[in-house]
Chains A and B, each alone.
Chain A
Amino acid sequence: QKEVEQDPGPLSVPEGAIVSLNCTYSNSAFQYFMWYRQYSRKGPELLMYTYSSGNKEDGRFTAQVDKSSKYISLFIRDSQPSDSATYLCAMSKQETSGSRLTFGEGTQLTVNP
């Protein structure tokens, strides 16, 4: 069983839709949670970083963490064609910069104009 499960999609939505991306994890040792966006043939870029359970908002993006259910989500409001990319959840057990990240498989999102 994978430590982190993420639906690979693909997910296709119309412009302006609310997008919900999710990951589940099995190891309660994960304490730090991140969402990355990766455009084709590019490196991942950090969108959101969260630690505690609850919601964190940044513009059109909201990250949600539920540690009791081992479930994290990323919501994208008013989705735009430029949001079309692969979204990767990632998590680590420690805050230290030397701690390895464990990634989900990534969800491929297409926002249609």
Chain B
Amino acid sequence: GAVVSQHPSRVICKSGTSVKIECRSLDFQATTMFWYRQFPKQSLMLMATSNEGSKATYEQGVEKDKFLINHASLTLSTLTVTSAHPEDSSFYICSAASWTDGYTFGSGTRLTVV
């Protein structure tokens, strides 16, 4: 089946620094990629939707200058959390969508900002 690789699985960074999370579809081309944020014991909250080669569409309340999304190819999307602060600590999950394989999720990245 379809596989989405998300790295890193866990990252700890200092407040004020930037962190990049990578999401890669390994055996299929993703027409669309989604980025979610999940707080403990809560459901997934959609942050943004991105299509290859175009700007991401951000959900209401999500700061596009803080959460930079790049979708350079049909197999790779990155989320950069810029000038991270402790309140950005969360579990970030990507999902890659394709016509043939539906929605496939990455394994998630646990970000801790200290």
Q: Is the interface of B mostly helix, strand, loop or mixed?
A: strand
Within 8 A of A (CB), among B32-86: 32, 34, 41-44, 46, 49, 51
Chain B min CB distance to A98 (Å):
4
Partner of B98, one of A44, A97, A100, A108: A97
The CA of A103 and the CA of B108, in the complex, are separated in Å by 17
Chain A min CB distance to B41 (Å):
7
Q: Number of residues in B with C-beta < 8 Å to the partner?
A: 27
Q: A-B pairs with CB below 8 Å: how many?
A: 55
Indicate whether A97 sits within 8 Å of B97 (C-beta atoms), given known contacts A45-B105, A49-B102. yes
Chain B min CB distance to A43 (Å):
4
Contacts of B99 in A (CB 8 A): 96-97
Check A105–B43 contact: CB distance below 8 A: yes
Q: Number of residues in A with C-beta < 8 Å to the partner?
A: 21
Closest residue of B by beta carbon distance from A102: B46
Contacts of B30 in A (CB 8 A): 97
Within 8 A of B (CB), among A68-111: 88, 96-98, 100-101, 103-106, 108
Closest 9 CB pairs of A and B: A97-B97, A43-B105, A98-B32, A103-B43, A43-B107, A105-B43, A43-B108, A44-B105, A106-B43
Instruction: Please give the residue numbers on chain A whose beta carbons come within 8 Å of chain B beta carbons, in ascending order.
Output: 8, 34, 36, 41-46, 49, 88, 96-98, 100-101, 103-106, 108
